[in-house]
């Protein structure tokens, strides 16, 4: 079996309303899928992290930088191909866009391997610790509204009513306003519903402490990306001095980048992003490293139904940390804002919302590979030139 073609599919559409987080507002939803075809075997699909112009740049890296190295090669040689590409790009980018591009290709190669073996990714990775995964609803993004706190509270209550037992909100408008937003959401939810707060590195350390102390008082489960990813000392101080869990790592790539975070005891909860850090091949090493440091992992998930499907398989195959009869199970992050690439892309829907409504969990599919094949009509309808 040989790789015959590697192609990017850029998708996009205008959102009904602008959404944002602490770093920017955006009006368009985009996705970057990678299709890897073989001569006498299955086709694999992957996804690259990175939106808008970043996705366009990543398409160039996928098709013009990485693809020529891999054409004619055996797609089952995933480890060999990963290291050849990484070593070839090491002088030009050990993180960021080159790793995002490599991630999409690597995920597609794992999809091919699963299909060739007739096994789901979770079984290919060594088996399942769970057949159902709890889901948390990610919403409450920043918007230009006169009463954002009221809108956040209403949205959070609606997610809880839909069956989500944990929800995550954005902050990043300043310490006082952010605390007011969190208070509004916390008071709109039952005590038993977990609340997580994502700052997208909005603060310097002093302001992060000010917000963090308020989150302690409000019983928030985790405080995500409180400071910039370069500030490892800030992460370490926050984790040591706050009772709220400190989560992060979505922008970190490869085992070498993650080693600094974990050896530095910077995180209570690690959030690797498989579509950015180097794909499944590298994710497996990062997971092992996190668990070697006894740091729980709850994957960061952002993208289409394909990214969700991949993460479902990874979460099914993830050992509990530290284990026991009643472990705190890893959760699937699910974007509840307007995302046609979650609701329309897959030929066989994942039924996330339906599973949450029934029992707060989603069943993990056991189809070969990651289990999602994009609908060709959806690819045509949303294709970007």
Q: DSSP states of 169-207 as a string?
A: EE--S-HHHHHHHHHHHHHHS-TTSEEEEE-SS---HHH
Residue 113: CB atoms within 10 A of its CB come to 22
Helix H or strand E segment including 159: helix 148-161
Hey, what long-range contacts does 65-73 have (CB within 8 A, 24 or more apart)? 65/89, 65/98, 65/101, 66/6, 66/101, 66/102, 66/105, 67/5, 67/6, 67/105, 70/3, 70/6, 70/105, 71/3, 71/4, 71/5, 71/6, 72/2, 72/3, 72/4, 73/2, 73/3
**CA–CA distances in Å: residue 205 to residues 42, 208, 238, 264, 364:** 49, 5, 8, 17, 39
Residue 300: active-site member: yes
H/E segment holding residue 258: helix 254-263
Task: From residue 210, give the alpha-carbon distance in Å to each of 27, 202, 207, 226, 366.
Answer: 31, 13, 5, 11, 45
DSSP 112-132: HHHHHHT-BHHHHTT--S-SE
Residue of 300, 326, 359, 361 marked catalytic? 300
* 249: three-class secondary structure by DSSP: coil
Contact predicate 141/19, CB 8 Å: yes
The residues that are catalytic are 300
């Amino acid at each position: 079996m040989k790789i015959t073609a590697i192609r990017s599919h850029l998708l996009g559409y205008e959102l009904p309303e602008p959404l944002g987080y602490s770093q920017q507002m955006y009006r368009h939803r985009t996705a970057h899928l990678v299709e890897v075809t073989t001569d006498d075997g299955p086709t694999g699909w992957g996804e690259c992290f990175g939106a808008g112009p970043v996705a366009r740049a990543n398409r160039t890296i996928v098709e013009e930088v990485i693809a020529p190295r891999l054409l004619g090669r055996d797609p089952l040689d995933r480890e060999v191909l990963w290291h050849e590409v990484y070593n070839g790009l090491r002088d030009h980018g050990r993180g960021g866009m080159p790793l995002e591009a490599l991630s999409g290709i690597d995920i597609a190669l794992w999809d091919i391997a699963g299909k060739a073996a007739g096994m789901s990714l979770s079984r290919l990775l060594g088996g399942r610790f769970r057949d159902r995964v709890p889901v948390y609803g990610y919403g409450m993004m920043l918007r230009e509204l006169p009463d954002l706190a009221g809108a956040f509270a209403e949205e959070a209550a609606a997610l809880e009513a839909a069956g989500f037992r944990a929800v995550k909100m954005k902050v990043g408008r300043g310490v006082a306003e952010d605390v007011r937003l969190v208070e509004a959401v916390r008071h709109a939810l039952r005590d038993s519903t977990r609340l997580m707060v994502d700052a997208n590195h909005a603060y310097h350390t002093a302001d992060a402490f000010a917000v963090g102390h308020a989150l302690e008082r409000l019983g928030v489960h985790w405080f995500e990306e409180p400071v910039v990813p370069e500030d490892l000392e800030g992460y370490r101080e926050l984790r040591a001095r706050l009772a709220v869990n400190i989560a992060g790592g979505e922008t970190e790539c490869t085992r070498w980048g993650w080693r600094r975070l974990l050896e530095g005891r910077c995180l209570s909860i690690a959030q690797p992003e498989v579509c950015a850090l180097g794909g499944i091949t590298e994710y497996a090493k990062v997971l092992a490293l996190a668990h070697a440091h006894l740091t729980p992992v709850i994957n960061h998930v952002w993208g289409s139904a394909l990214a969700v499907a991949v993460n479902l398989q990874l979460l099914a195959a993830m050992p509990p940390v530290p284990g026991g009869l009643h472990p705190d199970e890893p959760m699937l992050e699910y974007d509840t804002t307007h995302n046609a690439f979650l609701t329309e892309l897959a030929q066989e829907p994942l039924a996330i919302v339906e599973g949450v409504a029934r029992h707060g969990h989603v069943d993990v599919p056991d189809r070969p590979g990651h289990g999602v094949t994009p609908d060709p009509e959806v690819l045509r309808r949303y294709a970007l030139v």
